Amino acid sequence: MKPFDIVIVGGGGAGLYAAMEAMKTNPALNIAVLSKVYPNRSHTSAAQGGANAALANKAKDDTVEMHIFDTIKGSDYLADQDAVEVLCSEAPKIIRELENIGTPWSRLEDNTIAQRPFGGAGRPRCCYCADKTGHTILQTLYEQCLKKGVIFFNEYFALNLSVNGSRSKGLIAMNMKTGAVEAFPARTVIFATGGYAKMYWNRSSNAAGNTGDGQAIAYRAGIPLKDMEFVQFHPTGLRKSGLLVTEGARGEGGYLLNKDGERFMARYAPEKMELGPRDLVSRSLETEILQGRGFDSPAGKYIHLDLTHLGADLIKSRLPQIREMAMNFEGVDPILEPIPVRPTAHYSMGGIDTDNYGRTVMEGVYAAGESACVSVHGANRLGGNSLLDILVFGRIAGHTAALEARKFEPSAISEDEVKDQLAELRSSMQPSGHYERYGELREELGQTMALNVGIYREASLLKKGIAEVLELKERFKKVRVADSSDVFNTNLLQVLELKNMLDLAETVAAGALAREESRGSHTRTDFPTRDDEKWHKHTMSTLVDGNVKLGEKPVTMGRYELQERTY
Amino acid sequence: MTVSTDQHNEAKRDVTFKVFRFNPQVDSKPYFDDYKIPVERGVTVLRALNYIKEHVDASVSFRAFCQAGICGSCGMRVNGISMLACTSQVWEVLAKSKEEGVIKVEPLRNLPLIKDLIVDMDPLVDKMKHYSNWVDSSMPEAEMGKKEFLVSEEEFLKYDKATDCILCASCVSECSILRANKEYVSPAVLLKSYRMNVDTRDSIHDLRLAELVKDHGVWDCTHCYRCQESCVKSIPIMDAIHGIREDALESRGMKDTSGAKHAEAFMSDIEKKGKLVEATLPFRTNGVLWTMQNLLPMAVKMILKRRTPPPPPMVKPSKGIKEFRGEFREMSEHVKQDHKSHKK
Ligand SMILES: Cc1cc2nc3c(=O)[nH]c(=O)nc-3n(C[C@H](O)[C@H](O)[C@H](O)COP(=O)(O)OP(=O)(O)OC[C@H]3O[C@@H](n4cnc5c(N)ncnc54)[C@H](O)[C@@H]3O)c2cc1C
Ligand code: SF4
Ligand code: SF4
Ligand code: FES
């Protein structure tokens, strides 16, 4: 295959914005987007709540500076402050740009883009389209990419980077429709493969494919990952499936009630109440449950999210998707009854370490979106800041790669390398003698992560978690792909995704054990306070001889000094 | 083991899933595999399929991603009707099964089959491209990001519902014209085209419309309503189709196209003969028997729901139509009666 200037792995919001921007920056470039699902199916479509930008449409006194402060404070001071500045200053521009190309934003009475309050934000600055914001953004970007003639390789599964010393030669991927392993020689590669919170499996709000493939590929190629221990739990996952009830429900005025009918957030965040930041609300829910004030059911303990007082009209017009989900997956109509919820693993703050331009340490390799860690979310992401992150840094990565691509000489990927990958794939998945079942390993991984590396963490549990993950990695060597077909072998893909999750799970658990403090989403019961002296720094994970090696990196300050975080 | 949402021992039912199987590498033609598994209340068809894949037969292939009815991956036919597997409850489907305790699962229709329950979506994407299913902004690229277009509630509401579409292709699978003509634009693409055409920020309305009125375009639709009835997001697709047609008739310059001419002639025809003539159209393309089997039930539904069928191309009277007219007269009598009793 002729070498590409840019190969973008991932067709979610980050990947598509990167593609669109790269085409705009230099239309002469040869750009391809590769995605394991049709781009419009990407997980960005699940984002319901909205994207933050200080447009000041709703609150006239909102400013970019306030957005910056809220984000840094929300991050528990672990975000890099120069990166946050980029994020928030670019926000109004990017939301308007999306509007200009057709995103159907909801509107205020004066016909400007609508905004609503969202957790951890000092002003109502979350721009939304009913409760289908991510879906409509993704549709718009996909449409624009089709318009621009972006070349898509849909249903291609990225396997590995092809590396020569410190340089990437391109990507090796499987065509899911044929099972063929193909080389994509490329001057530059951008990873935009989304998050890794699915390692918590049915205690996660994520799509089945949010398995951190890009992070795992980069990690295997020697690129460091950053702050992997920070996994955000969303307070309101549906009790049975982990699926998400968006913060929009609380933004519109929903109450969290314990079994005594008490609005317990009054005890944890008296001012912000239900709209406190996610980590705090999740911990509050977990505490209520642990202290016996939750409801009991065969499917586990839970809390009530009550919308009944909002009225049928508001629920139907502003929260239709939430209503549909509650009815489909819990059999509860929120107009009539409260929704049973509990915390669910939702977002991965950690990811591939990049600079503010999306560059990784490997020449010609970039990353953006949830798969990257710039870092703008630090120890805790604010609701509505992730869509913003994927758009802003997707665009920046696309722009940078387009400017830099021609700087790198293309190199060929040999046929032997491709053949070796295929052969290895085949033989490793057909062990002789005793074998392991994919489903069981995955179930056990989700279980051990939730129990030992969940919301409340502690040294003994974390050690147990690490040991179990390592054992699972061992057992994985004997996993069997029961389906032997070439065409659309979804069984094989699931196994490959599990491998990626296992590699990353080790970095999450190891990072969590090392970090002897509590910060943002990372809560150690044995180290309950933030320890700025020892731990005001990023955790770096590198793969050395098959296992994780931890390092560190300073946090970029410059705007706001460290403060205690209260709401 | 049981597929369950609760750890509790809830009532279970033995369900046989009759799953459509086809692997192009080894099979010369498709067949069905039966999987009998116990299923509790509250389990979706997708969860049941996942269970089969994990515990019974790992080679069963289907797409799924979000598991929450938002990504559009898991469209398939369950007991003959196209729907999302991840939002369909096994017990609910079971209640309507023809064969007691059996649920038949097949791939979507009208798109090329790849394997088992997986069909190729590329033709749909190609059509989206062909009909410019994007907003071609009236704002120059260099100006973008500086200010917002102001969009009123009224303008917004015109396309709001259409943007719910998740491209699951359920409507495509149910479309009666697509079965005969794979080139046909497709309901989802008509919907998207309409959504773009009513967006005040867009600048290529005329160009898009010009494509839509050509062969295989909007005039080929028979108004059978199957797409709308199967839409997993309850989008009023027919409003979009009517909208495009009205738009085409109103737009000067579009009148030269054969479709519009047919339609105009038909309009006057309708005035003379009454609205129900539309139901005779499918005869021309599909023959009497097919129409009786496939469209008549729809026509009855349409009439009962008092929808006004707008104009398809001219219909030449053909053999067999007399009988039909008789039936329709009866139906329209019925509708009138219905009207009266309703008014009381
Ligand atoms: C339920 C839910 C609600 C949310 N709500 C909000 C919200 O209201 N506001 C907000 O700001 N954020 C929200 N988020 C977070 C936000 O949606 C995500 O962080 C964001 O959409 C991630 O976008 P992305 O482009 O980085 O990745 P994704 O959209 O996940 O896309 C990843 C892409 O990579 C591709 N890919 C992955 N692996 C491979 C591989 N091996 N080979 C080829 N391709 C691959 C996939 O096919 C996909 O196209 C929400 C998240 C969830 C789970
Ligand atoms: S109404 Fe038209 S588009 Fe819809 S299914 Fe019938 S023929 Fe197809
Ligand atoms: S119109 Fe409805 S049925 Fe058709 S693709 Fe869109 S969501 Fe699916
Ligand atoms: S899996 Fe996404 S719609 Fe069913």
Q: Name which of A37, A299, A328 is nearest B65 (Cβ-Cβ).
A: A37
Map residue A274 onto helix, strand or coil: helix
Asked if the model's pLDDT at residue A61 lies above 70, the reply is: yes
Q: Give the helix/strand (H/E) hosting B18.
A: strand B12-21
pLDDT at B10: 56
pLDDT at B253: 52
CB-based contact A113 B149, cutoff 8 Å: no
Contact A63, A554 (CB under 8 A): no
Distance from CA of A276 to the nearest CA of B (A): 26
For chain B, the distance separating the N- and C-terminal CA atoms, rounded to the nearest angstrom, is 57
Nearest CA in chain A to B66: A207
Q: Give the helix/strand (H/E) hosting A238.
A: strand A231-238
User: Domains (ranges, CATH) in chain B?
Assistant: 12-118 (3.10.20.30), 121-143+150-252 (1.10.1060.10), 266-343 (no CATH)
Contact B256, B264 (CB under 8 A): no
CB-based contact A146 B25, cutoff 8 Å: no
Q: How confident is the model at residue B287 (pLDDT cuts 50, 70, 90)?
A: very low
- Look up residue B54 and give its DSSP letter: I
Angstrom distance (rounded) from CA B173 to CA B170: 5
Pairing of strands A456-457, A231-238: unpaired
Give tens-digit pLDDT for A173-183: 999 999 999 99
Task: Quickly count: other Cβ atoms within 10 Å of residue A345's Cβ.
Answer: 32
Q: How confident is the model at residue B332 (pLDDT cuts 50, 70, 90)?
A: very low
Residues 120-139 of A with CB under 8 A from B: 129-130, 132, 135-136, 139
Angstrom distance (rounded) from CA A36 to CA A193: 9
Contact B304, B328 (CB under 8 A): no
Task: Quickly count: other Cβ atoms within 10 Å of residue B36's Cβ.
Answer: 12
User: Domains (ranges, CATH) in chain A?
Assistant: 238-342 (3.90.700.10), 415-554 (1.20.58.100)
Give tens-digit pLDDT for B39-93: 987 789 999 999 999 999 999 999 999 999 999 999 999 999 999 999 999 999 9
Place of tokens 């705007």: A559
Q: Supply the mean pLDDT for chain A.
A: 94
Place of tokens 């292939």: B61
Work out the percent of chain A whose per-residue pLDDT is above 90.
Answer: 82
Map residue A79 onto helix, strand or coil: coil
pLDDT at B56: 95
- Look up residue A2 and give its DSSP letter: P
Burial (Cβ within 10 Å: 0-12, 13-18, ≥19) of residue B7: exposed
Contact A379, A204 (CB under 8 A): no
Give the distance (Å) from ligand 4 centre to CA of residue A521: 29
Q: How many CA atoms within 13 Å lie on the side-chain side of A432?
A: 0
Residues of A designated catalytic: 234, 250
Give the distance (Å) from ligand 4 centre to CA of residue B74: 5
Give the distance (Å) from ligand 3 centre to CA of residue B227: 8
Angstrom distance (rounded) from CA A426 to CA A515: 39
Angstrom distance (rounded) from CA A157 to CA A150: 18
Contact B192, B133 (CB under 8 A): yes
The separation between CA A16 and the C-alpha centre of its own chain, rounded to angstroms, equals 16
Contact A94, A37 (CB under 8 A): no
Contact A512, A453 (CB under 8 A): yes
- Look up residue A224 and give its DSSP letter: -
Place of tokens 């020689």: A185
Asked if the model's pLDDT at residue A168 lies above 70, the reply is: yes
pLDDT at B57: 95
Pairing of strands A225-226, A181-191: unpaired
Asked if the model's pLDDT at residue B302 lies above 50, the reply is: no
Asked if the model's pLDDT at residue B312 lies above 80, the reply is: no
Interface test with A, best of B1, B27, B65, B197 (most A CBs within 10 A): B65
Nearest atom, ligand 1, residue A35 CA: 44
Using alpha carbons, select from A205, A253, A159 the residue that is nearest to residue A500.
A159
Residues 496-525 of A with CB under 8 A from B: none
Contact A109, A407 (CB under 8 A): no
Give tens-digit pLDDT for A515-528: 999 999 999 999 99
pLDDT at B73: 98
Q: How confident is the model at residue B258 (pLDDT cuts 50, 70, 90)?
A: low
Residues sharing a CB contact under 8 Å with residue B333, sequence separation 6 or more, in sequence order: none
Asked if the model's pLDDT at residue A423 lies above 90, the reply is: no
CB-based contact B151 A111, cutoff 8 Å: yes
Burial (Cβ within 10 Å: 0-12, 13-18, ≥19) of residue A423: exposed
Q: In this structure, is the dihedral angle defined by the CA atoms of residues A288, A293, A298 and A303, taken in order, positive or negative?
A: negative
Contact A382, A52 (CB under 8 A): yes
Using alpha carbons, select from B117, B123, B108, B120 the residue that is nearest to residue B23.
B117
- Give me the residues paired with residue A373 across strands: A353
Give the distance (Å) from ligand 1 centre to CA of residue A324: 21
The separation between CA A91 and the C-alpha centre of its own chain, rounded to angstroms, equals 19
Task: Quickly count: other Cβ atoms within 10 Å of residue B343's Cβ.
Answer: 6
Contact B108, B123 (CB under 8 A): no
Identify the residue whose C-alpha is closest to ligand 3 atom 4: B171
As given in the structure block, the two tokens for residue A540 are: 């770096």
Angstrom distance (rounded) from CA A507 to CA A541: 6
In this complex, is the C-beta atom of A299 within 8 Å of any C-beta atom belonging to chain B? yes
Using alpha carbons, select from B81, B18, B22 the residue that is nearest to residue B48.
B18
Cis amide prior to A375 (ω within 30 degrees): yes
pLDDT at A45: 96
What is the interface pTM, i.e. ipTM, of the complex? 0.91
pLDDT at B271: 42
Angstrom distance (rounded) from CA B195 to CA B184: 18
Task: Quickly count: other Cβ atoms within 10 Å of residue B147's Cβ.
Answer: 12
Distance from CA of A490 to the nearest CA of B (A): 6
Give tens-digit pLDDT for A332-387: 899 999 999 989 999 999 999 999 999 999 999 999 999 999 999 999 999 899 99
In this complex, is the C-beta atom of B200 within 8 Å of any C-beta atom belonging to chain A? no
Angstrom distance (rounded) from CA B192 to CA B132: 9
Map residue A73 onto helix, strand or coil: helix
Give tens-digit pLDDT for B146-193: 999 999 999 999 999 999 999 999 999 999 999 999 999 999 999 999
Place of tokens 């390692």: A199
Burial (Cβ within 10 Å: 0-12, 13-18, ≥19) of residue A474: exposed
Work out the percent of chain A whose per-residue pLDDT is above 70.
Answer: 100
CB-based contact A101 B137, cutoff 8 Å: yes
Q: Give the helix/strand (H/E) hosting B171.
A: helix B170-174
Residue A71: what residue type? T
As given in the structure block, the two tokens for residue B118 are: 């997986």
Which chain A residues are Cβ-neighbours of B132 within 8 angstroms?
A: 147
**Which ligand approaches the C-alpha of residue A132 most closely?**
1
Starting at the earlier edge strand, list the strands of the sheet with A547-554.
Answer: A372-373, A351-353, A225-226, A537-544, A547-554
Asked if the model's pLDDT at residue B4 lies above 80, the reply is: no
Asked if the model's pLDDT at residue A146 lies above 80, the reply is: yes
Using alpha carbons, select from B46, B296, B297 the residue that is nearest to residue B168.
B46
B169 lines ligand 4 (CB under 6 A): no
Q: What's the length of chain B?
A: 344
Angstrom distance (rounded) from CA B69 to CA B237: 19
φ and ψ at residue B100, rounded to 5 degrees: -55, 125
Which chain A residues are Cβ-neighbours of B136 within 8 angstroms?
A: 147
- Measure Cα distances from A213 to A31, A283, A486, B22 in Å: 21, 29, 21, 29
Task: Quickly count: other Cβ atoms within 10 Å of residue B150's Cβ.
Answer: 12
pLDDT at B262: 55
Give tens-digit pLDDT for A214-265: 999 999 999 999 999 999 999 999 987 888 888 888 989 999 999 999 999 9
Using alpha carbons, select from A137, A323, A129 the residue that is nearest to residue B157.
A129
Angstrom distance (rounded) from CA A90 to CA B145: 10
List the beta strands (DSSP E) in A90-230. 115-116, 126-127, 151-154, 156-164, 167-175, 181-191, 225-226
Nearest CA in chain B to A176: B114
Mean pLDDT comparison of A3-17, A433-447, B319-333, highest-scoring range: A3-17
Angstrom distance (rounded) from CA A56 to CA B112: 49
As given in the structure block, the two tokens for residue A450 are: 């939730």
Map residue B232 onto helix, strand or coil: coil
Contact A555, A78 (CB under 8 A): yes
Angstrom distance (rounded) from CA B339 to CA B331: 12
Burial (Cβ within 10 Å: 0-12, 13-18, ≥19) of residue B1: exposed
pLDDT at B278: 44
pLDDT at B286: 44
CB-based contact B66 A113, cutoff 8 Å: no
CA-based radius of gyration for chain A: 22
Give tens-digit pLDDT for A392-402: 999 999 999 99
Asked if the model's pLDDT at residue A106 lies above 60, the reply is: yes
